[in-house]
Structure formats: C-alpha cells, structure tokens
Amino acid sequence: MDSVTKRYPDGTVAVDRLSLEIPDRSITVLVGPSGCGKTTTLRMINRMVEPSEGRILLDGADIQEQPVNTLRRSMGYVIQNAGLFPHRTIVDNIATVPRLLGWGRNKARARAAELMERVGLDASLAKRYPYQLSGGQQQRVGVARALAADPPVLLMDEPFSAVDPVVRKGLQDELLRIQDELGKTVVFVTHDIDEAVKLGTMVAVLRTGGRLAQYAPPAELLSAPADGFVEDFLGADRGIRRLSFFASGGLRLQKSPIVSVDSTAEQIAARVTPGVPYLLVTDPDGRPLGWGEPDELTAGSPDPDRLLPHGRPFEYGSESLRAALDGAVLSPTGWAVAVDGTGRVVGVVSQQAIGEAIRSAHAGGRSAAGTEAGAEAGVAG
C-alpha cells in the first residue's frame, strides 16, 4: 500500500496516507480502536472502498488494473458474523466462489466437502442451513467459503469478534493451523490487541484518523511501543504478555525432586533435594499429582488427597515463559511443573529460576530494541 488515503465526500478522512508493505504468506494484523480506518483499509484491498489517493499494489501490479470482480474472486473474504447465505446449504455456501469461477456443480461440492474437513466441520453439517449452526460453526463455514477457490490472499474483517472467548480461542488456533498448512497472505482486522499479538506475524497499529502508529512484529510491539498511544493500546500487562515470545526451552529444570506415588519411603528420602522444600508426586505414568512435604511423604505412602495443587503444568520447549510463570504463580509452592507433549513430568522449576530466565531474555530483547531506538533517533536527527 503506497500512501493510501480515503477521504469521504463530507471531508472525513478515514485513512490518512497509509503505506504498508504486507509480507507474502504470513498474517498481517490491522489493529486499532474503532474509527481508526482499519476496516476501510481492508476494504480498499478488494476495492469494496476505492481509495481517494495513493495506490495499492498486489505483486507489483496496481489493483485498479484488474476487473473488480476478478480481483475479488482471487481474494478470500471473511466478515464478522460470517455473512453466510441463509437460503443455501452449508456445502453450497462454501462452493460459492468456485461456482462463480465456472466450476461444475459436482467439482465445487467435492471441493466444499474437502474444505469442511480442513476447517474442522463435521461432514454431516453439509446439508444443513446456516441458521442450524452455532456462531462458531458459522464462522468456520465463512473461513471455508473464503478458502474454497484457493485464493492466495485472505481478507478477514473482525471474523472472530462475535463469538464467545472459548470459541474464539478455538477459531484462532484453527486459523494458525490452517495458515501453517496453506501459507496464505492473510490481512486480518481486529480491535482486540491480544488477538493481534497472537495471530500476527506483523501488526499494524492504527490510531483514530487513519494514521499508522506502529508497524512491527508483535514481540517488538510489546518490547518497544513507538509512542504513548501504542503503549496505552497494548494495555497494562504488556510485560507479562511479552513473555509469550520467549521459549521455555531455556529454563534449567530440576529433575531430582520428583517421586512416583508408589515409591517406597527410602526412594522418597533419596529424592529430597537441598534448596527444594517440596517433592512433586506423580502417578505411576509420570503425570503430576501434586506437591508434598518430604517429612509427610516419607512417613507413609503418599496420600494424593493431601498433596498441594501443582498449578497448570507447562509444556517444556513448546510453551513460552509466560505459561511457565503462570504455572509457578498458580502453585502454592511457587514451583512450576514442566511436562512433555504427552503430559509426563520432565522437571520442575522455581519462580526464581523463571525470573532469572526472564531477566536474561529481556537483556537480549533490550539490546535489540536499543539498536532500533538508536536507528530511529538517527533518522530523526
């Protein structure tokens, strides 16, 4: 997008000289408060809104040069509330764009069935009508419909804002999974900064009046907000949220203070570790049960009901420091439990150790942010 402006006849400026380079095959999120022009920006990409000034280039070609409906058919379009056709069955809704492109009915339906599977919809829903589906299911259909003709570009306008938080999280995870598989160029509009940070490879924060406040990867956004507006918009706990971008793989785990529930008193005694006031008790498969005091545990066989809760275990390596810290904060012992992909305990880690990991991660982040700040200062000077 090259210095694009949208000015309405009444003089309102919705988007003001916006320039964005949207990377291929990744998710770019436009985020901002209402009235910041994010939806207008998105709708200019498929020419639902025509810019007053500036150009939008797609793979180097001005989008004005293509017939408008050809352009739109090459871009998947997902909107809030899905916007399904109420008079068509789910399968026919999904087959819309292939049919517009002149595919035969059977081929289009076969493609639709394939997409239903891809977005996690049961095949039995194919002959249903939209009103028979829940909001989350409708939104999945909306995504499937947008993907039906395999467009290289996917435009999503607050697609998940009308569903409840649990369903929204499911849809977000699903989108990330589909994106991993298909590698579309996604432009995603939301007013929810958490959604932006979670989904975006790049995040563009827009401010009221359609000005770009910051365009950066989410980790950089959290570590180095460009100004007070971005910082306010990110919210108070951006420090904690930023931990999402640090892997937990760097944590040094303690492996000794772990005992199985069927251990003997001698085995338990052998596991008592200096500096660790508790022992983690696991079931015979190695899944965490809870924390016990060494004295009580050696006194008899461990009673699972009397153990202290272990908080939410985090998956070592794949989950972030944020999950690890969360686990440690939730546990009354202040120790977090690390598990592998199958839920078996691989070690435990204290709040203190997590704190050290955060400090060293921040030190790395700060030096990177420092050079950027320096570069900006250089430009300003």
Could you list the residues that contact another protein (CB under 8 A)?
43, 46, 48, 68-73, 77, 79-89, 96-97, 100, 129-131, 142, 145-146, 155
Q: Within 13 A of 48's CA, how many CA atoms are on the CB side?
A: 13
Q: Closest distance between another protein and the C-beta of residue 27, in Å?
A: 19
SS (H, E, C) 174-225: HHHHHHHHHCCEEEEEECCHHHHHHHCCEEEEEECCCEEEEEECHHHHHHCC
Q: For residues 235 and 244, what is the distance between their CA atoms, to the nearest angstrom?
A: 15
Nearer to another protein, 11 or 131 (CB): 131
Q: Closest distance between another protein and the C-beta of residue 33, in Å?
A: 22
Nearer to another protein, 142 or 225 (CB): 142
Nearer to another protein, 71 or 240 (CB): 71
Nearer to another protein, 79 or 216 (CB): 79
**Token couple for 373:** 């700040």
The partner residues of 215 in beta bridges, in order of sequence, read 204
Tally Cβ neighbours within 10 Å of residue 55: 12
Q: CA distances (Å), 1 to each of 13, 16, 56, 381, in order?
A: 17, 12, 5, 27
Burial of 164 (0-12, 13-18, 19+ CB in 10 A): exposed
- Angle of helix 135-147 relative to helix 165-182, nearest 10 degrees, comes to 20
The partner residues of 350 in beta bridges, in order of sequence, read 335
Q: Closest distance between another protein and the C-beta of residue 39, in Å?
A: 11
Nearer to another protein, 162 or 369 (CB): 162
Q: Closest distance between another protein and the C-beta of residue 71, in Å?
A: 7
Q: Closest distance between another protein and the C-beta of residue 82, in Å?
A: 7
Nearer to another protein, 12 or 69 (CB): 69
Q: Closest distance between another protein and the C-beta of residue 48, in Å?
A: 6
CB-based contact 119:111 (threshold 8 Å): no
Nearer to another protein, 70 or 342 (CB): 70
**Token couple for 372:** 């950027």
Q: Closest distance between another protein and the C-beta of residue 53, in Å?
A: 23
